[in-house]
Amino acid sequence: MASSNIELNVKNPTFVATYASWVGGFPGANGAPGFTQDADGDGVPNGVEHILGTSPAARSVGLYEFTKLPSSAVKFRHSLSNSIIAGITHSYQWSTDLVNWHSSGQTNAGNTNVTITPVTVVNTAAPALDTVEVTATVNSGPNVKLFVRLRAAQ
Ligand SMILES: [Ca+2]
């Protein structure tokens, strides 16, 4: 009697195609699985957790290592997933009042202009996470408070 073997090589068994299947992989996030919800209450919305490559069901640090630079600039770091689902994007925004948010290079009504520049400082491959260092530079405007955020969109 003859027999044969079939070898199945599954290279990426954790592949997920949609946000719903990704968040569904974290049972602890079932209570608040929405893209803009914050299932673990750490202040990082689930969609941003996806960008960062962190769990939406366990507290994570989000943005870190905020540093004021000698010039009119601030820098910070964050992890970045190498497995971001198609259709989900991220961007950076700045504000002086936490109400009106602007993209890099825009000038607000008070004549403040800010450039936001991300640089990948640790470049890995999935499932490992990259590290991105983001510098926000105030190019012009009066002395104001500066807020910077990472946004996720789908
Ligand atoms: Ca969260």
The CATH number that applies at residue 146 is: 2.60.40
Residue 37 CA to ligand 1 centre (angstroms): 8
Residue 150 CA to ligand 1 centre (angstroms): 13
Give the pLDDT confidence of 86-103 residue by residue, as tens digits. Answer: 999 999 999 999 999 999
What 3-state class would DSSP assign to 89? strand
Q: Is residue 81 part of a domain?
A: yes
Q: Is residue 95 part of a domain?
A: yes
Say which residue, 9 or 83, is predicted with more confidence. Answer: 83
Residue 86 CA to ligand 1 centre (angstroms): 21
Q: What is the pLDDT of residue 6?
A: 61
Residue 65 CA to ligand 1 centre (angstroms): 19
Q: Is residue 122 part of a domain?
A: yes
| pLDDT higher than threshold 90 for residue 7 | no
CA distance 136 to 116: 4
Mean pLDDT of 63-80: 94
Note the pTM of the prediction, 2 decimals: 0.85
Q: Which of 3-7, 116-120, 126-130, 140-144 has the lowest mean pLDDT?
A: 3-7
Amino acid in position 37:
Q
Mean pLDDT of 19-41: 96
Residue 62 CA to ligand 1 centre (angstroms): 9
Residue 80 CA to ligand 1 centre (angstroms): 15
Q: How many domains does the chain have?
A: 1
Q: Where in the sequence is the domain holding 70, given as residue range(s)?
A: 58-153
Q: Is residue 91 part of a domain?
A: yes
Q: Is residue 128 part of a domain?
A: yes
DSSP string covering 4-19, please? -------S-TT---SH
